[in-house]
Amino acid sequence: MRSFMKKVTVVDRWLLGGSVASLVVALMLVGMRLDAAPKTDSDNEEFVRFIDVSAEVYREIRGKYVDDVEGRKVLEAALQGMFTALDEHSQYMDPRTLDSLNKDTGGNFSGIGIHITQRQGLLTVIAPIPGSPSQAVGLLPWDRIIEIEGETTEGMTLQDAVDKLTGPSGTQVTIKVFREGEPEPLEFTITRATIKIESVASQMLESNIAYIRIVRFSESTTADMRRAFLDLKAQGATSLVLDLRFNTGGLLREAIEVSDLFLPKHEIIVSTNGRLKSQKREYRAVEDPIITMPTFVLVNEGSASASEIVAGALQDHKRAVIIGPKGKNTFGKGSVQTIEQLRHSLYDDEDGNPKASAIRLTTARYYTPSGRTIHHIGITPDIGIPLPKNHERDLLRHGLLGDTTIPTTADEQPETPESANPDGTEETPSESIELNEQPAPVTPEEGSEQPEAPKTEGSEPFYSKATKPAIVEDKFEDVMLNEAIKMMKIHMILEAGSGANATKVASAEPAPDTPEAN
């Protein structure tokens, strides 16, 4: 400790010739040093060198940069920069971002209605929110947003992108997207709206088949799911189709509790494994199941995080048959993010009290009951349904069962441009940032300006380097749902004759009149 204090004294003396702000940052870093408590002499030395370098760089920027720079802005950028060495889901959360996360999990916000993430360094659409302006104009999963209001997204942080996409209801934002298979980027002008995300939609289909769609795993999902199921069962439902398509995730506890509705008491639902002992956990069913009827689960590439937990648990326990597009897995978001509120903040409220800030840190990965990881792999469906070309694009534009009406604003209805052809550990998606998938709508403040990245003449655009699974999606009908209904009818006939379990259908082939993929 004596050698450390001696070195800090040297740094302090050096800073006396610079700005007061430089002294502040050095003291802040010293506080970080004391809190961090490195375990070895090597860690101590490395951290002290970090203090020296950080303080020197800060002083040079504040004293010599061509324009006057707000100290807090530099410090905040430094904090955010730490997370670039990690994964796309870890981040520093200033008070505004933390507030956005709380709004997102509550299910109410104003924006264009889209879940996005960073994939291969590119701003990637996970899925548009059902009934949102983004769905109305035809945005699709795996679209890469390459410009927002004419500004390239190359090098743009996820939170800055969210800041630019969200805003007051009735305002507009223009984006440009790269879509695999399109000769040129597509441009969309989207009118923002106040969006209410309904957690669960349900109705009775033909042949007493219950249909329940989970749109988002928010605070009321399990209660809504239980209520919907009991209502349909009272109407005579004898089988269930659970639709998790385009569901980008949400709260971990809700995914566990929804799974608990299907599985016998004490059966494992999901496990997590990380460096800390607290992250090595198993989550098990704690109640007797209330849903015991034959069940098919619909998924696609837009099913992420919490959706994958439910699908994986039901699949491993052979409690349901998982149906998806042929040759496609779910999104593959299988990491755990822990939200840790910080004791310190760079921001104060109007009374001078520190505003809450936090970090969102990947602390573990999910594993299905059989021990499979889903991270960057996803859930492989038991049955793959060939889909017509552009099918999922048309499906989003027409709406899935239970989709809410596209919201109106005080001034206008969102327009479809001609170019459009269509707790502890919790997760959060994103305009929402996410997943937990699980990132988040924010208050309408402008993000920081990002300079256009220099481009070499003849060089390949940054966004074209991304890989994307081919879209197997022209005529409109909900092919997957129709096939699930056909297979369920066949299964119920067979079950009536032999008492076979629903999971026996896993080896069945799609009906002969299934449209061929293009």
Check: CB of residue 188 under 8 Å from CB of residue 112. no
- Active-site residue, 12 included: no
Do 390 and 474 touch, CB atoms closer than 8 A?
Answer: yes
CA 173, CA 192: separation in Å to the nearest integer? Answer: 8
Amino acid in position 504? K
Of 191, 192, 188, nearest in space to 420 by CA: 188
Cβ neighbours, 10 Å, residue 27: 15
Phi, psi dihedral angles at 208 (to 5 degrees): 60, 35
| Catalytic hit among 22, 169, 199, 305 | 305
Give the angle subtended at the CA of 378 by the CAs of 383 and 423, to the nearest 5°: 120
- Output the 3-class SS for 269-287: EEEEECCCHHHCEEEECCC
Kindly name the residue from 104, 333, 357, 478 that is annotated as catalytic. Answer: 333
Taking the CB of residue 53, how many other CB atoms lie within 10 A of it?
10
| Cβ pair 437, 248 in contact under 8 A | yes
The answer to whether 233 is a known catalytic residue is no
* Secondary structure in 3-state letters for 464-498: HHCCCCCCCCCCCCCHHHHHHHHHHHHHHHHHHHH
The answer to whether residue 430 is catalytic is no
Q: Which residues of 64-79 are buried (b: 16+ CB within 10 A; e: fewer)?
A: eeeeeeebeebbbebb
∠ CA 163-130-407, nearest 5°, is 75
Structure tokens at 200: 């669960």
Decide if 196 contacts 176 (C-beta within 8 A).
no
**397: number of Cβ within 10 Å:** 19
Percent helix / strand / coil, the chain, rounded to 5: 35, 20, 45
Longest dimension (CA), the chain: 89
Given the residues 94, 143, 163, 316, select the one marked as catalytic: 316
Question: What is the CB-side half-sphere exposure of residue 72 using CA atoms within 13 A?
Answer: 5
Do residues 55 and 22 lie in contact, with contact meaning Cβ atoms separated by under 8 Å? yes
What are the residue numbers of the active site? 305, 316, 333
